[in-house]
Structure 1
Amino acid sequence: MESGELMIRPGPSVASKPDGHGGWRAAFYIVVVGFLERIGFYGVQGNLIMYLTGPLGMSTAAAAAGVNVWAGTVQVLPLIGALAADSWLGRFRAVLAAGVLYLLSLGMLTVSSALEASQPLAASSPSSARLAFFYVALYLLALAQGFHRPCIETLGADQFSPSDGDPGARASRSSYFNWFHFSISWGYAASTTAVSYVDDNVGWTVGFGVCWATMVLCLAVFLLGARTYRAEQPVDGSPFVETVSAWAARVFHRKDDSGTEWLLDRKPEEGKGLVVKLLPIWLCGMVYAAVTSQVYTLFTKQASTLDRRLGAATGLVVPPAALQCLVSFTFITMLPVYDRAFVPLARRIAGHHAGVTTLQRIGAGMAMSCVAMVVAALVEARRLRVASDAGLIDRPDVAVPMSLWWVVPQHVLIGLAGVLGDIGLEEFFYDQVPDALRSVGLALSLSAMGAGSYASGMLVSVIDWATRSSGQSWFSDNLNRARLDYFYWLLVGLVALEVTAFLHFAKRFVYRNKTSCDP
């Protein structure tokens, strides 16, 4: 070894065992599993704020902050699930463990709702024991998601390996991310329309029961495709653990049993250099997630105040959470266009296998989220004017004479942002980590989204405290006296700063694989 050269203690490499055929045949099962899992999981998350402010009697600010904290946990826990999969369980068994946790948690939520429904109407709030039971079930659901999401999507991407000698594997894998999200978008749409309708018109217990039954089917489909999967084997001694050990050794100058000092490799894609490279993109993704998290919190509460009738003749009233399906339908509509029309055209122009680089795709999504919040702020300002003109300022129980169609554009724009930003972040982090840590890479993307939800929850809580102490809260339970439009404008400013910072870092980023940025 040359003088001054740094080294890292070698760890075992990842072994790839072809348990099946791989390719699109195996990916098909995983795409179907993604669809079913989203129905079961998002059937809870999509309408959670209405359950908290309804049967559980929470205030709007407390419920929004609570949902943001839980949603943040949902997207941070994949780091734990991914580490367990990459270093111990393997992705296949991690998904199986997630299935068991899903059935347990959704069963508990169904029982919790049934107990709540059996209480007399005079009861003002649930008992501490029932509330604790509900939250244990809710966070078990988050843990199940932590094992499922990074591992199932990564397992699907693993079915397309360029190392097999297939020249089209990289392009197929990029296409897989699009089609996986196309599938889960149908799951989102089904959950936010059908399941939320059941919640509002049949009962929460039945709604949670539907989610549980869907997870039973999801697990069955996953097992049905088991023989076709190419499964990545877990590594004894995760590279992540080796890297952390190397960092600690460098700080404390520790040596192993043979007397060799552990130091970090100079390669930029390893250890400390990897973290330094990815952290700015992760932080920008966190701000982006804080904006998009408003869809299942404040956008839903905003929609609940509008005239949601689908024509006087039909008598149908759209559940507030059902408007979230607009995001899903945007994915469903635009992803085939993106994958089958835009990508081939951009590929011919730029020569890139995916049409554009992942960072270009992410940046476009972030910019689109800024436009979405501008529209949301303008629509909310109009809603407040209409409520004032109709004399409904102090009548929050009466629908504002303003059609629900006014909030359609902001949902569609968030959907467009997701088509670009969400999928771009996932593909970027999957591709920019070592091969042995693919699940962790995807979990890093999800953790950025989770940190954004935490940030949104903290921002709501701080602003609620500051504005309540000086007068009327921006998040008043009476939304006709709230100022959600001010909050939306604040988010516009934050995301504008985020886009500026992202462009700075993206221009200087060096991809781990040359093929990630070049033809």
Structure 2
Amino acid sequence: MEQEAKRKDGKDEGRDGEKWVHDSSVNHKGKVPLRASTGVWKASLFIITIEFSERLSYFGIATNLISYLTNVLHQDLETAAKNVNYWAGVTTIMPLAGGFLADAYFGRFTMVLLSSLIYLLGLSLLTMSEFIPIIKPCNARVCHKPRKIHEVLFFLALYFISLGTGGHKPCLESFGADQFDDDHLEERKKKMSYFNWWNFALCCGLLLGVIVIVYVQDKVSWGVADLILTIVMAVTILTFYMGKVYYRYRLPVGSPLTPLLQVLVAAIRKRKLPYPSNPSLLYEVPRLKLSQGRLLCHTSRLRFLDKAAIVEDRENASTEKTHNPWRLATVTKVEEMKLVLSMIPIWLTSLIFGVGVAQASTFFVKQAATMDRRITHNFDIPAASIYSLTAVGMMVSVTIYEKILVPFLRKVTSNERGINILQRIGIGMIFSTLSMVAAACVEMRRLKAVEKEIMQGGKQVALSMSVFWLAPQYLINGLGDGFALVGLQEYFYDQAPDSMRSLGIAFYLSVIGVGSFLSSFLIIIVDHITRKGGKSWIGKDLNMSRLDNFYWMLAALNLLNFCAYIFLARSYTYKNVERGILVPDCPKSDEADLIV
């Protein structure tokens, strides 16, 4: 009778778990969410919509910003380039602050809404600076020195956009992923698809930004382009807010960094204690209710930190509230610290990939500016619009991966992801290396055309070589992004502690940002060294440079970095979560340890 009662209770718990979402999230009223009416695609589609708008605005501004600074504000090329780099740097760093504030104090929904309004304010200021007579660049149709008030308002608007991006980027994607329950098999599979379709929407925004918005800027007016971006952002903010009844929310739990520091301090204090004979003797709170959070299973990596969970004779660990967290940490907190430390080597080996990504919006575009960009005799495309081929490559990659590769690989590998996250990132790194090889080969041919048409012919016009010779390097770069960038997003969200997922997305963004800074640093070093040899690889005149050698160097660096990445990824241990309450098991992670 007793066993039958337990089985009945277990069935009731199972039915209850299917009806309600017990993953520590709440609905808009602060109660346990009902699975049928919240989350999953019905909620995430509202969230993806505003991401499309943000990427449309960002790439519409960023890819053509240097043209505005040189053509409208009449800055010299060096000053304009510095201003673009400063703005891009601030925009990249801000997500670290935004992610921390969301996880610790505001929550992701509030941070997204607040930062979107700041973003909208920046776009509104840009629009006003082009239409209001007193703050327009100047009264005349053509002027050589813009009004100072216009410059001040323009840069103020740009940095409002940076501030908005800082709260928007790390929180929106993680908020969308929060709509899927990790402990529910079907929702967990849908969550894997979510990252793919998220990036598909991102590419759509990027594509329209670098084609439609850039074209309007060049052929119609900057003011009309800014007005379009402002209206689209306002509409999508309203759309995002309308979906609030469908969302699942994660409540902020205070600074996520404090528990990590507590684990480190406790481990140092107990460094002389011997390890227990059995990991089950390490301290863990009594099994939590699912609405309070998830427990992590003990792993054998970084064993020194386990000492933080050793219970000393004088410590009373019977309840969670009686122990000093600076002397005694739970196994879950220790494992969260291990997760963060284990992500650092992966982050470091991803930076060279970030350097490769930076070339698509810098030197690739500079190459395009020297080439024949005519589609017809009366129509030519802006140099920045060629960047759209990267988005095309990424969209093709994501679609094929989601619709063809994943279903096939699930059957072959019995892995619900198809392939592991780190395997996916590694494949993207291979594509990045091939993109640099293709870029080097095309640049060698372009330089031969320069020598034939300009050096010998004495002409100072664009080459007759079509800009679409750059298509292979852009498309391969986009294919790599479909594997590596999406994989990095999923990795830093999935492997970060539950309380740090906005920061996890910020770490992913920092790969791109730090990669851009590293690219600038490499350019300075390469220019300094090669200039001593008599001919700089990266001179002021692209036609007098040897950019092909720079690309070959990046290809070699990518290859060496990939070898280091494989070494780290082969021994990586994925996050292992206790999947249930009724059966307190710690199964082996469904992610295989090997990348190859």
Matches within 5 A, 1:328-347: 328-347=391-410
Structure 2: distance between partners of 1:396 and 1:30: 52
Report the CA distance between 1:213 and its aligned residue.
Answer: 2.0
Cα deviation for residue 496 of structure 1 reads 1.3
Maintained 8 Å contact 2:398/2:483: no
* Residue of structure 1 equivalent to 2:166: 146
Aligned to 1:17: 26
Partner AA of 1:118 in structure 2: C
- For 2:255, give the aligned amino acid: S
What SS does the aligned partner of 2:180 have? coil
Q: In the alignment, is the contact (CA less than 8 A) between 1:77 and 1:447 conserved in 2?
A: no
Instruction: Confirm whether residue 412 of structure 1 aligns to residue 486 of structure 2.
Output: no
One-letter amino acid matched to 1:199: Q
Partner Cα distance (2:252, 2:149) in 1: 40
Of 117-126 and 276-285, the range deviating more from structure 2: 117-126
Query: Gaps (5+ residues) in structure 1?
Result: 1-12
User: How big is each residue's C-alpha offset from its partner over 1:143-167, in whole Å with a ceiling of 9 and x where there is no partner?
Assistant: 211211121111111111033xx32
Partner of 2:68: 51
SS across alignment from 2:464: strand
CA–CA distance in 1 between the matches of 2:155 and 2:329? 42
CA contact (8 A) 1:81 1:147 kept: yes
Give the C-alpha shift of residue 374 in structure 1: 0.9
Q: Is the 8 A contact 1:40 1:210 kept in 2?
A: no
Q: 1:260 to 1:278 in 2, by over 3 A?
A: closer
- Aligned partner of 2:228 in structure 1 is 210
AA matched with 1:373? M
- Residue range with higher mean Cα deviation, 274-283 or 468-477: 468-477
**Aligned-pair distance for 1:357?**
0.3
Secondary structure of residue in 2 paired with 1:325: helix
Secondary structure of the 2:496 match is: coil
Measure, in 1, the Cα distance between the counterparts of 2:531 and 2:136.
31
- 1:458 aligned to 490, 499, 521, which one? 521
Amino acid at match of 1:31: I
Residues 298 and 131 of structure 1: CA distance in aligned 2, closer, same or farther (over 3 Å): farther
User: Which position in structure 1 is the counterpart of 2:372?
Assistant: 307
Q: Over aligned residue pairs, what C-alpha RMSD do you find?
A: 3.1
Check if 1:156 corresponds to 2:173: no
Q: CA deviation at 1:214?
A: 1.9
Structure 2 counterpart of 1:287: 352
Are positions 1:29 and 2:46 aligned together? yes
Q: How far did 1:401 drift?
A: 1.0
Q: Counterpart in 1 of 2:281?
A: none
In structure 1, give the amino acid aligned to 2:192. Answer: S
Q: Distance in 1 between matches of 2:78 and 2:481?
A: 25
Helix, strand or coil at the partner of 1:355: coil
8 A contact 2:137–2:150 mirrored in 1: no
For residue 90 of structure 1, report the CA deviation from its aligned partner.
Answer: 0.7
2: CA distance, partners of 1:367 / 1:48: 31
Q: What SS class does the counterpart of residue 449 from structure 2 fall into?
A: helix
Deviations 1:47-69 (A, max 9, x none): 22333443345565665565445
Q: CA deviation at 1:492?
A: 1.3
Task: Name the SS of the counterpart of 1:310 in structure 2.
Answer: strand
Q: Secondary structure at the match of 2:375?
A: coil
Distance 1:264 1:66 in 2: 47
Deviations 1:33-59 (A, max 9, x none): 221221122211122233344334556
Aligned residues: 501
Matched to 1:45, the amino acid is: A
For residues 499 and 225 of structure 1, the distance between their equivalents in structure 2, rounded to whole angstroms, comes to 42
* Cα shift readout 1:417-451 (whole Å, capped 9, x = no counterpart): 10000000010111111212221112111112211
How much has 1:84 moved relative to structure 2? 0.8
- Report the counterpart of residue 4 of structure 1 in structure 2: none
Q: 1:462 to 1:137 in 2, by over 3 A?
A: farther
| SS of corresponding position for 2:411 | helix
TM-score by length of 2: 0.77
Partner of 2:591 in structure 1? 517
Pair 1:400 & 2:400 matched: no
Alignment of 1:466-477 (within 5 A): 466-467=529-530, 473-477=536-540
- Asked if 2 retains the 8 angstrom alpha-carbon contact of 1:61 and 1:461, the reply is no
SS in 1 for 2:401: helix
Q: CA deviation at 1:219?
A: 0.7
Deviations 1:238-259 (A, max 9, x none): 3323323554677799xx9987
- Cα displacement (A) at 1:393: 8.4
- TM-score normalized by structure 1? 0.88
Are 1:489 and 2:552 an aligned pair? yes
| CA gap 1:62/1:80 in 2 versus in 1, 3 angstroms | same
Following the alignment from structure 1 to structure 2, what is the Cα–Cα distance between the partners of residues 119 and 466?
Answer: 47
Tell me by how many angstroms 1:473 deviates: 4.4
Contact 2:373 2:381 in 1 (8 A): yes
Q: Partner of 2:544: helix, strand, or coil?
A: coil
Moved more, 426-435 or 113-122: 113-122
Shift of 1:286: 1.5
Structure having the higher Rg? 2
CA change 1:289–1:473 in 2 (3 A) is: same
Equivalent AA in structure 1 for residue 225 of structure 2: G
**More relative contact order, 1 or 2 (CA 8 Å, 6+ apart):** 1
| Structure 2 stretches lacking a partner, 5+ long | 1-21, 29-36, 271-320, 577-587
- Equivalent-residue separation in structure 2 for 1:268 and 1:161 (angstroms): 21
AA in 2 matched with 1:355: G
